[in-house]
Amino acid sequence: MRKFPEHPFGYGAIDGPASLAHAPPPCQHQHLAHKITAGFPSPAADYIEDGLDLNEYLVPNKCASFLFTVAGDSMRDAGILDGDKVIVDRSVPPTHGKIVIAVIDSEYTLKRLHSVDGTIELRSENPAYASIRMVEGSTLEVWGVVVGSIRRYRG
């Protein structure tokens, strides 16, 4: 794909994919059957559901799933921030509205896929960055579809 000078792409290098085919064995975590509020805790939160395997929950297709580390803030309004990990499934069809990993000029980028009047457009989720519109003669590889994200809080 050619770069278009009128479009500040606003993407940073995303670390290459890390395969999840050899993810660690399942690890069950206790899962409370109570929705959490950000306010006063409920005394009814004593009910425990079956365990939650985070690998099973976050990685629907282990052999086709990869982990990327996000760099930059172009997807912040979708809740994906700099340093987050995104789980990408290559077996999910890239359809309108999905968040995808695309390859542009050998660089990975994270954007929302849109089909506008028969043309493909990659949109940031931050108004500071312009959309990337695919035009005749340009090429695009949609590497995979984002199916989840992980953020580690430190503090």
Q: Could you give the residue numbers annotated as active site?
A: 74, 111
What are the Cα distances from residue 103, in Å, to 92, 108, 117, 154? 16, 5, 22, 31
Are 35 and 44 within 8 A, CB to CB?
no
Q: Partners of 113 in the beta sheet? A: 122
Are 148 and 86 within 8 A, CB to CB?
yes
* Cα atoms in the Cβ-side hemisphere of radius 13 Å centred on 83: 4
d(CA 51, CA 101): 31
